[in-house]
Amino acid sequence: MTLERKVAKAFNLTHENWMKHSNPWSVWTRYSVLPLIVFAFWSRIWIGWWCLIPGLLSLLWMFFNPVFFNPPRSTKNWASKSVMGERVFLNRDNIPIPEIHDKPIHKILNLVSSSGMALSIWATVEYSIWGACFGIALAYLGKSWYLDRMVWLYEDMKNKNEEYKSWNY
């Protein structure tokens, strides 16, 4: 089982939930998660332990965002294709992907994104606004580039499998 499949399982991404997550509103509002978490826990300087309430709400938003929205009217947009590409990528152990897409760049981009998240967490603990801003920017640069690679993968794979074809509407 791929790491991506384990993550999808943790978020309960069934076919129906993947379709909900492919709604552009889900993809774009998911970009709010890291700044909300950073701000929520940073607020401990103003509201003390009460910061756990917005912190918990931020974490719940991270967990429920992928299933909060309805399936999109169309998947012919960048955001939806990025989610469909993630589905294709996590299924690569069942349906092989082209060699051009089976490169370590995905791991590198996830490492960049993870490094940005780690920096953001450190900056939240240390109250470093520049560290938080740089960490969030780094996390989203890596994630956005990764998602763009997923769009490319989906475009290459969408007509090579009946299941993948059915996601394109």
DSSP class per residue in the chain? --HHHHHHHHTT--HHHHHHHTSHHHHHHHTTHHHHHHHHHHTHHHHGGGGHHHHHHHHHHHHHHHHHSPPPS---SHHHHHHHHHHHHHTTTTSPPPGGGSSTHHHHHHHHHHHHHHHHHHHHHHT-HHHHHHHHHHHHHHHHHHHHHHHHHHHHHTTSSHHHHHT--
Domain ranges of the chain: 3-166
pLDDT tens sequence across 31-90: 999 999 999 999 999 999 999 999 999 999 998 998 999 999 999 999 999 999 999 999
Q: What is the pLDDT of residue 1?
A: 67
Evaluate if residue 3 carries a pLDDT over 80.
no
Q: What is the mean pLDDT of residues 140-159?
A: 97
